[in-house]
Amino acid sequence: MSHYDILQQPVISEKAYAGMERGVYTFWVSPKATKTDIKSAVQKAFGVTVIGISTMNVPGKRKRVGRFIGHRADRKKAIVRLAEGQKIEALEGQA
């Protein structure tokens, strides 16, 4: 799996933006990706040093369309901690 397949998009929330100031970035990732895959993908894509990763599986919400009830797909979220003093410039401009 290439790093383009592993990293899907950054999480856009107030909590995620607050973490960026401390060098903690949050991404939606492929559900099949392991922590090792995510670490190498972030280091390759952004040229930074990753010191820690936390992952969580987020279940999809139930949604109603007319009289039918379905649910959104399950997703995986990764919280990536960078080495002291490093940041991802491409994401800093969004905050």
In three state form, how does the secondary structure of 53-81 look? Answer: EEEEEECCCEEEECCEEEECCCEEEEEEE
Burial, 28: exposed, middle or buried (Cβ in 10 Å; 0-12, 13-18, 19+)? middle
Structural domains of the chain sorted by starting position, each given as residue range(s) with its CATH number in brackets: 3-61+72-87 (3.30.70.330)
The pLDDT-based confidence of 1 (bands split at 50, 70, 90) is: confident
Q: For residue 23, is pLDDT > 80?
A: yes
pLDDT band of residue 60 (cuts 50, 70, 90) is very high
**What pLDDT does residue 94 have?**
61
Q: What's the pTM value of the predicted model, to 2 decimals?
A: 0.87
Instruction: Report in angstroms the alpha-carbon separations of 95 from 40, 55, 57.
Output: 24, 22, 25
Q: Select the more confidently predicted residue: 4 or 55.
A: 55
